[in-house]
Copies of this chain bind each other. A is one copy, B any other.
Amino acid sequence: MNSLFQKAQDASIQLAKIDNDTINQVLNDIADAAIAHTDEMLAANAKDLAQMSPDNPLYDRLKLTKERLEGIASDTRHVATLPSPLGKVLKHYTLPNGLDLSRISVPFGVIGIIYEARPNVTFDVAALCLKSGNACVLKGGKDADNSNQAIVRIIKAILQQNGINPDVVTLLPATHEATTEMLHANGYIDLVIPRGSSRLIQYVRENATVPVIETGAGICHCYFDEYGDLEKGKAIVNNAKTRRVSVCNALDCLIIHAERLPDLPALCAPLADSKVTIYADEPAYALLKGNYPSTLLCQATDESFGTEFLDYKMAIKTVSTFDEALAHIRRYSSRHSESIVTEDTLRAEQFIRQVDAACVYTNAPTSFTDGAQFGLGAEIGISTQKLHARGPMALEEITTYKWVIRGNGQTRPK
């Protein structure tokens, strides 16, 4: 396996010399090929689909269609339109001794991605890594292996046609051993980003010796403050919970100030339309009983809090003070996205300052946590750690920097 990593590293060094226009041409060619080779990819995808039950929740994620490939092609063309994240002068100054210092953005080198049964990720990652000057080593799910092999074959052909070493996009065997070797490929792989279940993330955290950016789990709260606007609150809670329940930015727990309990039925009313099951603590339950569909109303248990539901389910916690709301968030948040609904500006600013999360919202739903929504143009994942990148990661976040020091024979005093 190390020879594959070595080849990827060699290819990354060559990639560093390719200019942005050439890369954009390659991205557009890949987009064209995603359309031209639709049949080939759908045939490979059909083999994967044949081995999975259509009832499996992964089936839809695994499935490629003509329309989805068109979407992929369009996304790839979009990456070509984005500014290059490389060669940016992040700092520049001259020292009293005349040394000229600058800090310049550069590629990582080789980025490893471990993901599950989503063949579209193969295109996404290849495009974002090419654009940012990084070679990528892909470890996809076994379920999607035929699809991934077909996609990578097509991408490699385009690379070769454009005179780029095809090892800049390397697909590993879909085996557990490949994951293990990638996680220990110090000196070859500069960064690993796992994308998938919390079980995968945990495995990576516990086993990697290479640097990792964790993505994933979002246990997200919305605090409806005593000074919250009811209409905004209704829209925000409903959007955060029901826009898409299977994603990490979806709302898991509504925290309500006790003074506003009388507004709780109105606040939750839109959720009934989407058949959201509510796990309410005692004060909230007392108010919702008779005012929310009884089949969708349960009493909260200890397990209701700190749970990422990824489903039409939401917990409600009642607090007597703002500090109690902060303490609840601190205890249960996964530090992904947190929001407050309040018309009190001071309270909003306190929330911003005191809540430790990648994304802190005032009067807006956590559903906005997304690279494209943030105007970043793309997204390779959402970091839930604090090192290097936090929240949505786009092109800039998969670069590092180097210091460049230009001298004229200066020496450092003893």
Footprint of B on A, CB under 8 Å?
Answer: 13, 16-17, 93, 95, 99, 101, 106, 108-109, 186, 190-191, 205-206, 209, 211-213, 229, 231-232, 235-236, 238-239, 243-244, 330, 348, 352-354, 356-365, 367-368, 370, 373-375, 385-388, 390-392, 400-412, 414
Complex Cα distance A243/B413, Å?
8
Known A236-B411, A404-B360; judge A387-B354 contact (CB<8 A): no
Name 12 interchain pairs, CB-CB below 8 A, sorted by A.
Answer: A13-B354, A13-B356, A17-B353, A95-B374, A232-B409, A243-B411, A357-B402, A359-B402, A361-B407, A362-B404, A362-B405, A391-B403
Inter-chain contacts of A93 with B (CB < 8 A): 375
Task: Determine which of B16, B213, B236, B375 lies in contact with A353 in the assembled complex, contact meaning CB atoms within 8 Å.
Answer: B16
Q: Specify the chain B residue showing the minimal Cβ separation from A205.
A: B209
Known A356-B109, A364-B405, A365-B411; judge A388-B391 contact (CB<8 A): no
Contact B402 A235 (CB under 8 A): no
Known A109-B386, A386-B211; judge A368-B99 contact (CB<8 A): yes
Q: Whole-angstrom distance from the CB of A189 to the nearest CB of chain B?
A: 11
Inter-chain contacts of A238 with B (CB < 8 A): 411
Contact A409 B209 (CB under 8 A): no
Task: Determine which of B13, B213, B353, B387 lies in contact with A191 in the assembled complex, contact meaning CB atoms within 8 Å.
Answer: B387
Q: Whole-angstrom distance from the CB of A389 to the nearest CB of chain B?
A: 8
Task: Determine which of B99, B209, B375, B390 lies in contact with A400 in the assembled complex, contact meaning CB atoms within 8 Å.
Answer: B390
Q: Specify the chain B residue showing the minimal Cβ separation from A352.
A: B404
Q: Specify the chain B residue showing the minimal Cβ separation from A408.
A: B363
Task: Determine which of B365, B375, B404, B407 lies in contact with A95 in the assembled complex, contact meaning CB atoms within 8 Å.
Answer: B375
Inter-chain contacts of A362 with B (CB < 8 A): 404-407
Contact B406 A387 (CB under 8 A): no
Contact B352 A403 (CB under 8 A): no
Q: Specify the chain B residue showing the minimal Cβ separation from A350.
A: B17
Known A358-B402, A386-B108, A403-B390; judge A235-B411 contact (CB<8 A): yes
Complex Cα distance A404/B350, Å?
12
Contact B232 A364 (CB under 8 A): no
Inter-chain contacts of A373 with B (CB < 8 A): 95, 412
Q: Specify the chain B residue showing the minimal Cβ separation from A407.
A: B364
Contact A205 B191 (CB under 8 A): no
Complex Cα distance A211/B348, Å?
30
Contact B99 A405 (CB under 8 A): no
Known A402-B357, A412-B365; judge A213-B407 contact (CB<8 A): no
Contact A367 B411 (CB under 8 A): yes
Known A108-B386, A405-B360; judge A414-B243 contact (CB<8 A): yes
Q: Whole-angstrom distance from the CB of A228 to the nearest CB of chain B?
A: 11
Complex Cα distance A99/B106, Å?
31
Contact B359 A409 (CB under 8 A): no
Contact B357 A409 (CB under 8 A): no
